[in-house]
Amino acid sequence: MNKELKYVGKSIPIHDAKEKVTGKIKYVGDIRLAGMLYGKLLLSDVPHGKIIKIDTSKAEVLPGVVKVYTHLNTPATLYNSHKWTSGLKVVKDERMFTDHVRFVGDRVAVVVAKDRATAEEAVGLIEVEYEKLPVLVDPQEALKETSIKIHGGSNIISNREFKCGNPEDIFQSADFVVEDCVQTQKIHHAAMETHVCLASTEANGLITIWTPCQVVYQVQLITSEALQIPLSKIRVIKASMGGSFGGKGQPILEPICAFLSKETGAPVKLLMDRTESIIGTRTRNATIGKVKTAVSRDGEILARDIDVLVDAGAYFTNGEAVTIALGKKAFRLYRINHQSYQGKAVYTNSPIGGACRGYGSPQIHAITEIHMDNVARKIGMDPVEFRLKNLIHPFDDDLIGGPNLGNARAIDCVEKGKEAFGWKKRFNSPKQLGRYVRGVGMACGVHGNGYYGAYQDFITMDLRMTEDGELFLKSGIHDLGCGTVTTIKQIVAEVWDINVDKITALEGDTLVSPYDSAGTQASRVTFVCGECARITAELLKEKFLNYAAEIFNTHVENVEIENEKIWCKDDVNKQYSYSKMVLEIRKRFKDDSSLKYTYAAKANPAVYTANFVEVEVDTLTGLTKVLDVLAVHDIGKAINPGFVEGQVQGSIQMGIGFALTEEIMIDQQGKIKGDAFSKYHIINAPDMPPVKVVLVEEGEEHGPFGAKSVGEVATIAIAPAIVNAINHALDVNITSLPVTPEKIVEALNNK
């Protein structure tokens, strides 16, 4: 745009900041309804077994208990909570409550009581007798024909391949071939708000669900399928959210809560504690990745083969989808004309895999970017220069037929990062001696902007100018605490030149919101939903200007709109406020100043990052401290730079945990060790290093004002960068995450 932007590009505070800092905001856990009952789940403490007998009699006679539900008195309908839109074909293997538990955390029963304390006491009175079955937790064992079958048939639930060129031929004649095996772990999302849901049933049978979810229409769909009732009888309201990071991307409590309210005729709230959220919801999928690269003496990547095994956990959910996502992202970062990917997902008796910030990107980039450093080391090349030689260029095609990469600025990210970090000096500084040693590392990453090219991706918005000159936007957006509502308002404000505070933007509510095909996932919100907001605002503005031209008796080209005023350039005395023009349009044309528009995504360009880090390792204890982080992001245009930096800061915190401390540990008997924050270690504020953020803003077609995503890509390169820095400091080759002190000491002893 030629005109200087007034609202876009400014760090405007999040729309509900005041309510949050004053404690006035109402989360689902804060909502109280008349006659509300409380639910408490009983989760399996057995990793694999059939329920022979379940005795709820002691719980049922406890004063205050209303009802106890198990597999015996709840629907046996199978569903898949990963399904987010009608018509999507998925394997259905999950039900509300099971008689065949498949992991520690599987749902066995629920108590409904008049207060939470009674519900919790009653759960402890339920007696369950199991026929214990053999346990399978190793995904590599799950591949074997002789392994136990968790769902009766094969444990392999997905087997996907992507390929370009002929890598097999290239490997035979390459100067160098380097191989690695990299493992990543299951992690918990660690949102401050644990999983919670509230449902209430009205006299006409309408069930209203309040939930901090990511896709209201998905919650409506899964609840409809699980309860086998019409969609029209389910209303889902997206409530204020205390964090998700993908953990609330699949309906878990909602179908159960809706069922409990329907059965009891009362409002029912279901709240999970931290341990239940860790073991009984969703995790990031663990992976084992084998990667082999052929490279020339001068550093050109000639061919690459990637083989990834994905641990889907006890149920199908997104096991196939994340396996596909892993593979597709492997082809969008480097110019590798001969490459193959094989991905398998398997069942295990472990917590269920699901969406987690980055959706496969953190795993595939840990696998490939740790390996990239090893390739560079093998040929004696600086890892930054090695990457620069092989990175994709703007507007390259996707070699396996995906959407064009768009204005891809991966090289810019690395070049800017190299200079700002002082890479050459730090990387080539003499090795330190003594107990404490330092090293530097870097890694690159790529992610997407929505579902274009894979699934349907569209959203409808309804924008109306009110008679007091303010704008009212209805849509299915979901703010996860990252500023989505404010971002959308800034885009609309820029089009209309109106104060952001004079725009009301509602979040998803299936009763009143226009349909949105995908909600908040796949990094689509700014790029797809934001562009819909921009076009909707432009179309309503065009309608407004056309009516004004008739009122001013002039051509539309002579009508000016600015600073919440509209006037005729030929006669400055003909000046109306927005509110006055709305009333005049109603009077003269019997029309409302409103417009509804459906936007379908036009592209899915790639978005890039380069992270640079410095670490210090205590060679005696194996403890690692991250000292310095530089994160460079190809973002197109930052709608709200403050939000962007906040996204990056939070992503770095998650990435450090992924690299060093976080893991849901499962022993060979299927028991979970890291089921509480006392045993599951997230990175706290004192452990955070300074994080410098550099933005590359070169614009992107089809993004609002040139913007594209940052929320997920920001979390994918930091972990491999840290591992590479540790390996650089110690001159070792650790390829298993998290890099715990024990692994460092073992690597030093083996060295």
* Interval 646-699: pLDDT, tens: 999 999 999 999 999 999 999 999 999 999 999 999 999 999 999 999 999 999
Q: Once rounded to an integer, what is the mean pLDDT over residues 16-45?
A: 97
Which architecture does CATH list for 31-133+195-271? Alpha-Beta Complex (3.90)
Which pLDDT score, from 0 to 100, does residue 168 have?
95
Residue 59, both tokens: 């719980």
**Residue 22 exposed, middle or buried by CB count within 10 Å (0-12, 13-18, 19+):** exposed
Contact of 357 with 710, CB cutoff 8 Å: no
Which architecture does CATH list for 17-22+453-600? 2-Layer Sandwich (3.30)
Q: Once rounded to an integer, what is the mean pLDDT over residues 68-73?
A: 98
Q: Rounded CA gap, 150 and 168, in Å? A: 35
- The label of the residue with tokens 């008679």 reads 467
Contact of 738 with 466, CB cutoff 8 Å: no
Q: Once rounded to an integer, what is the mean pLDDT over residues 28-53?
A: 98
Domains 17-22+453-600 and 31-133+195-271 share a fold: no
Q: Which residues contact 745 (CB under 8 A, 6 or more apart)?
A: 621, 622
Report the SS3 class of residue 151. Answer: coil
570-598 tens-digit pLDDT: 887 889 999 999 999 999 999 999 999 99
Could you tell me the CA-to-CA distances from 138 to 141, 287, 313, 350, 520 in Å, in that order? 5, 11, 10, 9, 32
Bridge-partner residues for 37, per DSSP?
Answer: 268
Q: Once rounded to an integer, what is the mean pLDDT over residues 441-463?
A: 97
Residue 246, both tokens: 């993908």
- The label of the residue with tokens 């080391």 reads 377
79 DSSP 8-state letter: B
Q: Rounded CA gap, 443 and 361, in Å? A: 13
Whether residue 504 is predicted with pLDDT greater than 80 in this model: the reply is yes
Rounded-to-10 torsion of CA 307, 309, 310, 314: 160
Domain spans of the chain, in order of start: 17-22+453-600, 31-133+195-271, 286-449+603-750
Q: Rounded CA gap, 239 and 241, in Å? A: 6
Q: Rounded CA gap, 586 and 580, in Å? A: 10
281-310 tens-digit pLDDT: 999 999 999 999 999 999 999 999 999 999
Topology given in CATH for the domain delimited by 286-449+603-750: Aldehyde Oxidoreductase; domain 4 (3.30.365)
Q: Once rounded to an integer, what is the mean pLDDT over residues 274-278?
A: 98
Whether residue 1 is predicted with pLDDT greater than 80 in this model: the reply is no
Percent of the chain beyond pLDDT 70? 100
Contact of 252 with 272, CB cutoff 8 Å: no
Report the SS3 class of residue 425. Answer: helix
The average confidence (pLDDT) of the chain is 97
317-336 tens-digit pLDDT: 999 999 999 999 999 999 99
